[in-house]
Amino acid sequence: MTPEQRAVKWFEKVPEADQLSFDERLAICKKTANTTALVFVVLFLLEWILAYTLTDGSFAFIMTDILNSILLGTGGRVTTRKTAVVGLFVVAPLLIIPTIVTVLVRPIIFKNEIKKYLK
């Protein structure tokens, strides 16, 4: 989705959208997207740090051992794909909380940015 398409989609149900120029809408969407991405990355890193410190690193070592055991077989495209899929399942539990928080926080950030531009 291009920034222009995102601005149109995000402002479909916003009654104050008529008061903002298209450039302001683009700026609001960009700022909201950047802030939301930052929230996701910070939460993801905090989860990794917390998991690492609470388990004294065994969490990361177990994940690494699982992926390395798959890679010990014969190399090739299938092994690489299998490793990618297993890696996704291994990391997926760490993605749940940042994803939920990001989905819940984005509308709040979006409304706050609109209020800033309307003042």
Residue by residue, pLDDT tens for the chain (119 residues) are 898 999 999 999 888 888 999 999 999 999 999 999 999 999 999 999 999 999 998 988 988 888 888 888 767 787 888 888 888 988 898 999 999 999 999 999 999 999 999 88
pLDDT at 31: 97
Helices within the chain (DSSP H only)? 3-10, 22-54, 58-71, 77-118
CB atoms inside a 10 Å sphere around CB 110 = 20
- Total-model pTM: 0.82
Contact 114, 7 (CB under 8 A): no
pLDDT of residue 67: 85
Residue for token pair 């989905």: 103
**Is 102 in a helix, a strand, or coil?**
helix
pLDDT for residue 16: 82
Contact of 98 with 47, CB cutoff 8 Å = yes
CB 36 within 8 A of CB 109: yes
**Of the candidates 28, 20, 43, 50, which has an alpha carbon nearest to the alpha carbon of residue 103?**
43
Q: What is the pLDDT of residue 11?
A: 92
Res 18: pLDDT: 85
Rounded Cα–Cα distance for residues 39 and 103 (Å) = 10
